[in-house]
Structure 1
Amino acid sequence: MEHAADADPRCGLDLQHDPRVECRPLSPWRMPLLITPRDDALRDSPAAVADWYRGSLPALEQALLEYGSLLLRGFALRDTADFQAIARLHPEHAFGYIGGATPRRNIDGKVYESTRIPPSLKIGLHQEKAYMAHYPRKLAFFCKQPSDSGGETVICDMRAVTRRLPPELVERFRQRGIQYLRNFRRPSADGEPRNSTLREYHRPWDDVFQSDDPARIEQLCRDTGLACRWLDDGSLTVSHVGGATVRHPATGEEIWFNQLSTQHNNARSMGVAGYEYIRLLYRDRPARPYEVRMGDGEAIAPEDLAPVYDALEAEEIAFPWQRGDLLLLDNIAVAHGRNPFQGPREIQVALFD
């Protein structure tokens, strides 16, 4: 049973007048906007859901601008094919997940697994591919199987986070930019780290770029706006200098948009034990898997990021998945992450431009 607020009259264009659905914020939060079916056909027929979604796209887009996240619950979405039918109604993100940070495989068409990061680890709040020049405008998550415990896809209103941040911090990072350095180890065929977590944390470049041809990888780096450099140990380091904020293309709002908090090496982002393990393991190696600096290359002190972590934690929302849920996110306005979990879990994702 959802303890939801009264129906919201701002529920986007025609959604509040659509007799087939009901929409209201998922209590006790303002977001996500919960959309549930009133029409039996939407509960029973995936084809009816796809038809309704197609016809309701303008209203859904306006509601997404208002709320940043929409949760469709109770609709006839049962498997990957049903999710794929919805994903096809959006423009696919260019380059898919080429050059992405976390390990994930393509399942079918536009649909990917959410991540292979071990279930014991929390994935910090972030906006997808904010460390690259080209990033998806929207994301959709589909819950094929919720975990026995934990495993929430946590979300966070980044407009609210931006308002919480000290103006002088925002201005400093806005002026100087952010440099992302990511290192990928030599191909997996050359041997795997024994530690399973490290295998996923420090990925091989043939997996990241889906090619074992160095010339092809260099071209993909050029296409995606990454500088690249081959190191003597056979690994590849890519870099990109991005901004700390972006203007939302539809609303014009300036929003904190980067991955400082997840790609900076410090005890708050990695945990004390994890940070110490990585620090010792990579002290004599030419590069760490992730590193983030000021745009001019100057190091960033962990204490400089404390207000960012405080703001993210203050705005974090975690609600339990239900089988068949579909969560649509504005990737600029809303960050996402994942709580640790136990038991089988299958969350799928699609990236849209």
Structure 2
Amino acid sequence: MPLLQTSLPELTGVYNSKLVKLVKKPLKGSKLVRGKEYPIGLDLVVESQDGTLSGLDIAEVNQFFQDLGESGTLLQLITEHGLVIIQNLNSTDPEHYSQIVNSFFKAQQYHEFEQVGLLAVREKVKKAVSTVGNDDKLNKNLGKLSAHQEFSRYLDYPHVLTFFAEKAPKLGGGQSTTTHATELFDRVVNKFPEFIRDLYEKQGNHVSQKFSYKVSGESKFKISWTDEGAFGKYITQEEKDSEDIEAMKAKAVRLANERVSKNVEFDEHHDLILHQTSDIVQIHPLTKNPIIFSSLPTYYGGYYKAKKGKTEDEISQLTPPPLSYGDGDLIPEKYLDYLFEQSQELEYTHDFADGDILFLDNFSVYHGRNPYTRGDRTILASFWEQKDSSRPKPYKPQTLEELIKPSI
């Protein structure tokens, strides 16, 4: 397969008389999105002075990625192309992965994104590195994880996500799936321009989400809002032990208001309910491309799948997910059906190899994964954002015309 583009910035360095470089490689299924190749594949290649292939120790790798961070060239590729896949690292050590991402992002003046409001346990395994969730324990590996942009419904969300294949699946399945948010926007606006108009004029969309206080055995998620990864960051162990519910609620609300939503409440069971309204048809702050910035496909996907093959009477017995336009009007299901269908049709699928690192622009690319066999996959993650409090984020343009501008 020929390369779609060859005019990429040079990514090379010399360390202990070894030439280290990232070499562009063809990726089956890559495409052009508004003139930019998506995704980009790079192989890490090390050559000795005589031109033969050579090994590379982790200190040299760290320095190489630190230099890439200081130059800004790799971050430029991530921003412009949405997804950069680096292979041939010859390491599956989580410590090596941690050192690489810390070297790269800190040189770029980024810091680790602090995750709060989680519905699944993500265990910290190394500095700035965690598991992707307890999928095996909850049997979530049996189903497809639909497209979403990390924390997109929240007030705070990371810019760049990275994923590392400590153990690539060998039994089939478990691939990474990604959808470009601008390509999805273009597909939806061409089919249903009135849907994009309504999302713009009706304050985006509103969703509600519940976090349990006491987690039952039947619960899909095994995490309480009092847990540190959810909204328990400020809650003390003494308050948990004494079940000081009012003190815990006050601290959970404080954290939720800071990071997730200004509109929260508790029901009669002391379960925490978040109401989130967000403008999801927006402009990418750096590329200036329109995007659909959301988690709607994964939020709506379960209901969509439950409808398949059922009669209208049977569908009427199902409970739709609690989502609407931001002004409270219901979103017609034909629009949500199409958005979900296109999020899958436009997927790029990556088969992991051991040691792969994916660098993903969370503003412009949705991510998910295919089902896999329990125990046959170990993927780690590290999320990053700029340190500056005024860091650029997706924004709603002043006019609808600015959003629906012709593609290049």
In the alignment, is the contact (CA less than 8 A) between 1:136 and 1:331 conserved in 2? Answer: yes
Aligned to 1:181: 208
Cα pair distance change 1:258/1:334, threshold 3 Å: same
C-alpha contact (below 8 Å) 2:300/2:336 kept by paired residues? no
Residues 292 and 92 of structure 1, relative CA distance in 2, 3 Å threshold: farther
Structure 1 moving runs of 4+ over 6 Å? 16-19
Q: Distance in 2 between matches of 1:247 and 1:92?
A: 23
The residue that corresponds to 2:370 in the other structure is 339
Q: Does 1:206 align with 2:226?
A: yes
Q: For the residues of structure 2 that align with 1:184 and 1:194, how far apart are their CA atoms?
A: 14
Q: How far apart in 2 are the matches of 1:152 and 1:271? A: 25
SS in 1 for 2:323: strand
**Is 1:56 matched with 2:68?**
yes
Query: 1:224 is aligned with what amino acid?
Result: R
2:398 corresponds to: none
**2:147 aligned with 1:125, yes or no?**
yes
**Aligned residues with identical type, % of pairs:** 20
Q: What amino acid is the match of 1:206?
A: T
Partners of 1:193 and 1:325 lie apart in 2 by: 36
Indicate which of 76, 86, 103 corresponds to 1:72: 86
- Whole-angstrom CA distance in 2 between matches of 1:250 and 1:5: 28
From 98, 105, 108, the counterpart of 2:116: 98
1:103 to partner: Cα distance: 3.9
Alignment partner of 1:28 is 2:24: no
Q: Which residue is 2:253 aligned to?
A: 218
Calculate the TM-score normalised by the size of structure 2.
Answer: 0.74
Q: Match for residue 133 of structure 2?
A: 115
Worse-superposed segment, 217-226 or 41-50:
41-50
Q: Distance in 2 between matches of 1:252 and 1:243?
A: 16
In 2, are the aligned partners of 1:182 and 1:238 still within 8 Å (CA)?
A: yes
After TM superposition, list the pairs within 5 Å mapping 1:150-299 onto structure 2. 150-166=173-189, 167-176=193-202, 177-188=204-215, 192-194=216-218, 198-200=220-222, 203-207=223-227, 208-210=230-232, 211=235, 212=240, 213-226=248-261, 227-264=263-300, 267-268=303-304, 291-299=322-330
Letter in 2 for 1:349: A
The whole-number CA distance in structure 1 between the counterparts of 2:39 and 2:338 is 24
Contact 2:161 / 2:360 at 8 angstroms: preserved in 1?
yes
- Residue 100 of structure 1 deviates from its aligned partner by 3.1
Q: Which SS does the other structure have where 1:352 is aligned?
A: strand
Q: What is the aligned-residue RMSD (CA, Å)? A: 3.0
Whole-angstrom CA distance in 1 between matches of 2:26 and 2:181: 17
CA deviations 1:182-223 (Å, max 9, x no partner) are 1011134xxx3246xx235xx421232244532221110121
How many Å separate the matches in 1 of 2:127 and 2:305? 33
Q: Secondary structure at the match of 2:255?
A: helix
Is 1:138 equivalent to 2:138 in the alignment?
Answer: no
Kindly indicate whether the alpha-carbon contact (under 8 Å) linking 2:20 and 2:64 is maintained by their aligned counterparts in 1. no
Contact 2:184–2:292 (CA under 8 A) maintained in structure 1: yes
The answer as to whether partners of 1:9 and 1:16 remain within 8 angstroms in 2 is no
In terms of mean alpha carbon deviation, does 325-334 or 152-161 score higher? 152-161
Whole-Å separation in 1 of the counterparts to 2:366 and 2:177: 8
The corresponding residue for 1:276 is: none
In the superposition, relative to structure 1, how do residues 92 and 47 fare at CA in structure 2: closer, same or farther (>3 Å)?
Answer: same
Residue 142 of structure 1: how far off its partner (Å) = 0.4
Secondary structure (helix, strand or coil) at the match of 2:328 reads: coil
Q: Are 1:304 and 2:335 an aligned pair? A: yes
Higher deviation after alignment, 328-337 or 96-105? 96-105
1:271/1:338 CA distance change after superposition, 3 Å: farther
Q: 2-side partners of 1:16 and 1:109: how far apart?
A: 26
Indicate the larger mover: 101-110 or 144-153: 101-110
Aligned to 1:352: 384
Helix, strand or coil at the partner of 2:382:
strand
Q: Which moved more, 1:59-68 or 1:206-215?
A: 206-215
Distance of 1:131 and 1:308 partners within structure 2: 17
Report the Cα offset of residue 116 of structure 1: 2.1
Residues 158-194 of structure 1: CA deviation (Å, up to 9, x unaligned): 2111111132211111221111211011134xxx324
1:315 equivalent in alignment to 2:346: yes
Q: Distance in 2 between matches of 1:305 and 1:315?
A: 15
Counterpart amino acid of residue 217 in structure 2: P
One-letter code of the match for 1:182? Q
Give ranges in structure 2 of 5+ residues lacking alignment.
14-18, 32-37, 49-53, 241-247, 310-315, 386-408
* Per-residue deviation, 1:97: 1.6
Count of aligned residue pairs for this structure pair: 334
Question: Shift of the alpha carbon at 1:320?
Answer: 1.0
